[in-house]
C-alpha cells in the first residue's frame, strides 16, 4: 500500500512529471522562495487566531466578531468568528454598489444556443448595480409573496443561467438556507435531497439547453415533489419557453409572474446573519449511506473565499474570471458565485456543453470576453486533448494570465497541454486541492502571495493558516516522500458548519471524518515532498471520482439492487482516459431472470433515471456471486483487476480481512465467468 520515495525528484519521475517543470525561472522576481513561504506558514500557525482574525478583518462585518474560533455544541464542529454578523448578499452586491464598482460588470453569461453563423444567440450582462436590483426584486418575492423567512429551507434545481446566481444571492440576503441540486441529477436524487433538508419550495426552470437538446427540468421536479410533502410549490424560471406537461396553479408559479407587480426599485434589507448561521447545505456522496448534507456557515466561509480569491487567484480589478464548473457542485458555489463576487470581479458563466456546437466553444469564450483567469478540470482538458489543437490555436488566448485546475489529480499530459497550449507557456498552472467539505481551497500554489514557486503537477503547500499532514494507518506523520493519508489537523474557516456539520446528523459527521484519526480525514492518499508540497494521489476509499465528481459506491449499489431483477450488486471504479474514472458494476440476478444482454441495457437506463447520466456504469457484468471475503466485504480490487484486464497483482497487501487463498479463488471464479465478456 505504501510507495516509498526518497525525494520529490523521484516523485516527479514516478508521476512522470519530467524536465524543467519547476517554474521558478519563468517567474523570476515574483517569488520569495520556498523557505520564506515555510516561515510565513509556520508563523500563521503559531499565531493561529491572530492570523485568521487579520484575514477576517479584510471583509466587512455589520458587527465585529468576538472570538476567532470556539468549539460548537457538537464534537468537531466549530464556531468561526462567533459574535460577528454579516451577510453574503450584502458583501457580494451592496458593498460594490456603494463603490466605483457600481457599474462594473459582475456577470457575463452566455447561453448554449448559437445563431446560424455559430455566434452565441444569447449573451446577458449584468453590472453590479443591475445584479443588485434583480436580487432585491427576487428577495422581495421570496419574502413578501412566498413568505420565506430566515432559517427556512429551499431547494434549487437550476441549470447554469443567471437566475441561479440571483436566487442564491436573494436567499442569502434573507438568511434562507438553500440547497442547489445539480441539474443533471434525477428526480429520485432530487427528492432525497429535498426531503432531507425539508425544503418549502423548489426553484427550477421549464427546461434548459444541453448539447442542442432540451432537458425538461419541470417534469423532473414534478416527479420529485410527489414524495416531498414539505414542498408548497414549484417556482419556475422561464428558460426554454414551454413545458411538456401543464402548469397547475396549485403546484406551480412562474417567477416572472410573481415579479410582475414588484416595484423595479424594490429594496430588501439584508438580514444581519450570525457568522455561525447556515448559508447553504450541499449534498455529496460518500462510501456508505445516502448523500451527506454538508453545512456551510456564513462567516468562516466568507473569510476563506475572500482570502483564497486573493492568495490563489491573485485577483485584480481588471480580471475576467472564468470557472468552468457547474454551480451544482461546490466549485461553482465558491468560485462562480460567492468568492468572485465578494472581491468584485467580473465572472463569466456559460450554460452549455463545452464542445457545442463545435469543439472550439470554450476557447471562443475566452477570446470573446478576454478571460484572464481560467479555472477548470483535468477531465475537461483530457476531453479537449482528443479533439486536436486546431480548435484552440485559431483563437487568441493571450489575455490569460493564470490557470488552475481542480477535482482530481492532474496528469502530466493534461498539465502540459494547459501550460503550453492554453497558457502559451506564460501562465502558472496550478492544481488546487479542496473538497465539498472544506468550502474553499486549502492546498494550492499561491501566486497572489508571491511566495510559492510553481512545481508542476503538485497541489502546492497548505495555504497559510491551514495545517495539513500526511499520516500512516496509526495517524503518525510519515516521512517526506512516503505515501499516506491526508488529514487536516486544525479547524479552518469554511469547514462544515454549526450546528451539526452534516445536516441533521452530528454522529455521522463525526464518524465519517474524525473517527479514524481524531483529525479531519479527507479520504485522500497523498505524499508530502521535501519542500512541504502536497501531492494528492487520489481517493483511498471507495468513493469514485467520475469526471471530477464524487459518486458513492453505496448510492450506485443500492440503486442497482432496487431493480426487480437484481439480487446483489457491487460497484467499483476503473480508469478512463477522459473521465479519470468510471463506474463498472457486477450484479447477481434473481433466479427467475433470464441472463440476456438486455439486462445490462435496462440496468444502465435504471441508473441513469435514478441517479443521473453521470453515474451510468460503463460495463455491467452479470455473475453468479460477488467476490467477497468471509466477513462479507466486497473485494473491489479483484473487480478492478478483472475489468481492466490486469493481473490481480500483489495480494499480500490486500485489504485486511481477505485471506490470500480466498482472493485467488474469487479471482479465478470470476475470471472464468466473465472471461469472454470483457469489453
Residues binding ligand WT7 (CB under 6 A): 284, 330-331, 406-409, 431-436, 459, 522-524, 536, 539, 545, 548-550
Work out how close the CB of 432 gets to ligand WT7 at its nearest, in angstroms, rounded to a whole number.
Answer: 5
Query: Which residue, 573 or 627, has its beta carbon nearer to ligand WT7?
Result: 573
Spatial neighbors of 428 by CB under 8 A, at least 6 apart, are 23, 27, 402, 403, 445, 447, 454
Q: Closest CB to ligand WT7 among 408 and 616? A: 408
Question: In angstroms, what is the minimal distance from the CB of 124 to ligand WT7?
Answer: 26
Helix (H, G, I), strand (E, B) or coil at 300: helix
Least gap, CB of 550 to ligand WT7 (angstroms): 4
Q: Which residue, 214 or 578, is less far from ligand WT7 as judged by CB?
A: 578
In this complex, which beta carbon is closest to ligand WT7, that of residue 51 or of residue 535? 535
Nearest to 250 by CA among 229, 228, 227, 232: 232
Nearest CB to ligand WT7, comparing residues 139 and 534: 534
With a CB cutoff of 8 Å and minimum separation 6, the contacts of 23 are 428, 453, 454, 455, 456
Shorter beta-carbon distance to ligand WT7: residue 41 or 549 = 549
Residue 437 DSSP class: G
Do residues 654 and 663 touch, judged by C-beta distance below 8 A? yes
Whichever of 114 and 168 has its CB closer to ligand WT7, that residue is 168
Quick one: 162 or 523, whose CB is closer to ligand WT7? 523
Cβ 40 to ligand WT7, closest distance in Å? 22
3-state DSSP helix/strand/coil % of the chain, to nearest 5: 35, 25, 45
* Gap between the Cα atoms of 170 and 141, Å rounded: 9
Ramachandran region, residue 355 (left: φ > 0; alpha: ψ -120 to 50; beta: rest): alpha
Location of C-alpha cell 472564468: 322
Residues 106/131, Cβ–Cβ less than 8 Å: yes
d(CA 151, CA 135): 19
Q: Report the residue number, 275 or 431, with the smaller CB distance to ligand WT7.
A: 431
| 3-state per-residue secondary structure call for 458-516 | CCECECCCCCEEEECCCCCECCCCECEEEEECCCCCCCECCCCCECCCHHHHHHHHCCC
Taking the complex as a whole, the smallest distance from the CB of residue 213 to ligand WT7 amounts, in Å, to: 26
Question: Which is closer to ligand WT7, CB of 406 or CB of 512?
Answer: 406
Tell me how far apart the terminal alpha carbons of the chain are, to the nearest angstrom: 28
Burial state string for 300-336 with b = 16 or more CB within 10 A and e = fewer than 16: bbbbbbbbbbbbbbbbeeebbbbbbbbbbbbbbbbbb
| Nearer to ligand WT7 among residue 142 and residue 418 (C-beta) | 418
Distance between CA atoms of 274 and 560, rounded to whole angstroms? 43
User: Closest separation between CB of residue 328 and ligand WT7, Å?
Assistant: 11
Smallest separation (angstroms) from ligand WT7 to the CB of 545: 6
User: Taking the complex as a whole, how short is the minimal distance between the CB of residue 377 and ligand WT7, in angstroms?
Assistant: 8
Look up residue 635 and give its three cell numbers. Answer: 473485494
Shortest Å distance, C-beta 493 to ligand WT7: 16
The CA distances from residue 412 to 22, 377, 429, 621, in Å, are 13, 13, 12, 32
- Beta-sheet strands, E only, within 206-254: 208-210, 213-215, 233-237, 252-254
C-alpha cell of 569?
450488486
Secondary structure letter of residue 425 according to DSSP: T
Residue 426 CB, nearest approach to ligand WT7 (Å):
21
Give least dist CB 647 to ligand WT7, A: 26
Least separation in angstroms between CB 409 and ligand WT7: 4
Which residue lies nearer to ligand WT7 by CB, 331 or 480?
A: 331
d(CA 177, CA 504): 14
The residue among 93 and 534 lying less far from ligand WT7, judged by its C-beta, is: 534
178 CB burial (10 A radius; 0-12, 13-18, 19+) = buried
Q: Least distance from C-beta 282 to ligand WT7, angstroms?
A: 9
Contact between 443 and 413 (Cβ < 8 Å): no
Q: Shortest distance, CB of residue 445 to ligand WT7, whole angstroms?
A: 11
Instruction: Indicate the angle between helix axes 660-674 and 636-643, nearest 10 degrees.
Output: 40
Q: Which is nearer to ligand WT7, 431 or 480 (CB)?
A: 431
* 540 alpha carbon, distance to own chain's centre: 18
Amino acid at each position: 500500500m505504501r510507495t516509498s520515495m526518497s525525494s520529490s525528484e523521484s516523485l516527479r519521475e514516478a508521476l512522470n512529471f519530467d524536465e524543467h517543470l519547476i517554474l521558478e525561472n519563468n517567474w523570476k522576481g515574483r517569488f520569495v522562495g520556498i523557505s520564506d513561504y515555510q516561515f510565513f506558514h509556520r508563523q500563521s500557525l503559531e499565531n493561529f487566531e491572530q492570523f485568521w482574525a487579520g484575514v477576517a478583518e479584510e471583509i466587512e462585518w455589520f458587527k465585529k466578531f468576538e472570538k476567532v474560533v470556539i468549539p460548537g455544541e457538537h464534537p468537531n464542529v466549530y464556531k468561526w468568528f462567533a459574535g460577528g454578523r454579516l451577510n453574503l448578499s450584502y458583501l457580494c452586491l451592496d458593498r460594490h454598489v456603494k463603490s466605483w464598482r457600481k457599474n462594473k460588470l459582475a456577470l457575463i453569461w452566455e447561453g448554449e444556443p448559437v445563431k446560424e453563423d455559430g455566434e452565441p444567440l444569447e449573451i446577458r450582462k449584468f453590472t453590479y448595480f443591475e445584479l443588485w436590483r434583480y436580487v432585491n426584486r427576487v428577495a422581495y418575492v421570496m419574502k413578501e409573496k412566498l413568505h420565506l423567512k430566515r432559517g427556512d429551507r429551499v431547494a434549487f434545481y437550476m441549470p447554469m443561467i443567471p437566475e441561479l446566481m440571483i436566487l442564491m444571492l436573494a436567499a442569502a440576503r434573507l438568511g434562507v438556507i438553500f440547497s442547489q441540486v445539480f441539474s443533471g441529477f434525477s428526480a429520485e436524487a432530487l427528492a432525497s435531497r429535498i426531503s432531507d433538508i425539508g425544503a418549502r419550495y423548489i426553484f427550477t426552470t421549464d427546461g434548459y439547453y444541453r448539447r442542442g437538446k432540451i432537458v425538461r427540468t419541470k417534469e423532473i421536479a414534478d416527479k420529485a415533489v410527489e414524495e416531498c410533502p414539505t414542498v408548497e410549490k414549484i417556482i419556475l424560471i422561464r428558460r426554454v419557453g414551454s413545458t411538456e406537461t401543464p402548469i397547475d396553479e396549485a403546484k406551480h408559479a412562474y417567477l416572472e409572474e410573481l415579479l410582475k407587480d414588484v416595484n423595479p426599485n424594490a429594496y430588501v434589507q439584508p438580514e444581519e446573519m450570525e457568522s455561525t448561521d447556515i448559508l447553504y447545505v450541499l449534498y455529496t456522496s460518500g462510501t456508505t449511506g445516502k448523500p451527506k448534507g454538508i453545512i456551510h456557515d456564513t462567516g468562516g466561509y466568507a473569510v476563506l473565499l475572500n482570502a483564497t480569491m486573493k492568495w490563489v487567484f491573485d485577483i485584480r480589478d481588471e480580471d475576467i474570471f472564468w470557472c468552468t464548473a457547474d454551480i451544482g457542485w461546490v466549485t461553482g458555489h465558491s468560485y462562480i458565485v460567492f468568492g468572485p463576487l465578494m472581491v468584485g470581479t467580473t465572472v463569466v458563466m456559460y450554460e452549455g456543453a463545452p464542445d457545442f456546437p463545435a469543439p472550439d466553444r470554450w476557447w471562443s469564450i475566452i477570446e470573446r470576453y478576454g478571460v484572464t483567469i481560467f479555472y477548470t478540470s483535468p477531465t475537461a482538458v483530457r476531453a479537449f486533448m482528443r479533439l486536436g489543437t486546431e480548435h484552440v490555436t485559431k483563437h487568441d488566448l493571450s489575455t490569460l494570465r493564470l490557470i488552475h485546475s481542480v477535482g482530481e489529480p492532474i496528469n502530466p499530459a493534461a498539465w502540459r497541454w494547459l501550460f503550453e497550449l492554453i497558457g502559451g507557456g506564460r501562465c502558472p498552472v496550478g492544481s488546487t486541492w479542496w473538497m465539498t467539505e472544506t468550502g474553499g481551497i486549502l492546498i494550492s500554489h499561491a501566486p497572489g502571495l508571491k511566495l510559492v514557486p510553481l512545481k508542476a503537477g503538485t497541489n502546492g503547500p497548505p495555504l497559510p493558516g491551514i495545517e495539513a499532514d500526511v499520516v500512516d494507518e496509526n495517524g503518525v506523520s510519515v516521512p517526506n516522500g512516503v505515501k499516506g493519508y491526508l488529514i487536516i489537523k486544525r479547524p479552518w474557516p469554511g469547514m462544515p458548519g454549526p450546528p451539526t456539520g452534516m445536516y441533521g446528523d452530528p454522529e455521522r459527521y463525526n464518524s465519517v471524518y474524525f473517527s479514524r484519526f481524531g483529525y479531519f480525514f479527507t479520504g485522500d492518499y497523498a505524499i508530502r515532498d521535501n519542500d512541504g508540497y502536497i501531492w494528492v494521489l487520489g481517493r483511498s476509499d471507495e468513493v469514485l471520482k467520475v469526471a471530477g465528481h464524487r459518486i458513492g459506491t453505496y448510492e450506485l449499489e443500492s440503486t442497482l439492487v432496487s431493480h426487480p431483477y437484481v439480487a446483489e450488486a457491487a460497484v467499483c471504479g476503473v480508469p478512463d482516459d477522459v473521465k479519470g474514472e468510471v463506474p463498472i458494476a457486477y450484479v447477481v440476478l434473481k433466479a427467475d431472470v433470464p441472463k440476456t444482454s438486455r439486462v445490462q441495457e435496462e440496468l444502465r437506463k435504471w441508473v441513469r433515471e435514478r441517479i443521473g447520466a453521470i453515474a451510468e456504469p460503463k460495463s455491467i457484468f452479470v455473475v453468479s456471486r460477488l467476490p467477497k471475503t468471509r466477513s462479507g466485504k466486497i473485494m473491489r480490487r479483484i473487480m478492478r483487476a478483472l475489468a481492466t484486464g490486469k493481473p490481480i497483482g500483489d495480494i499480500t497487501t490486500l485489504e485486511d480481512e481477505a485471506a490470500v487463498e480466498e482472493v485467488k479463488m474469487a479471482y479465478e471464479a470470476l475470471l472464468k465467468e466473465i472471461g469472454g465478456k470483457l469489453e
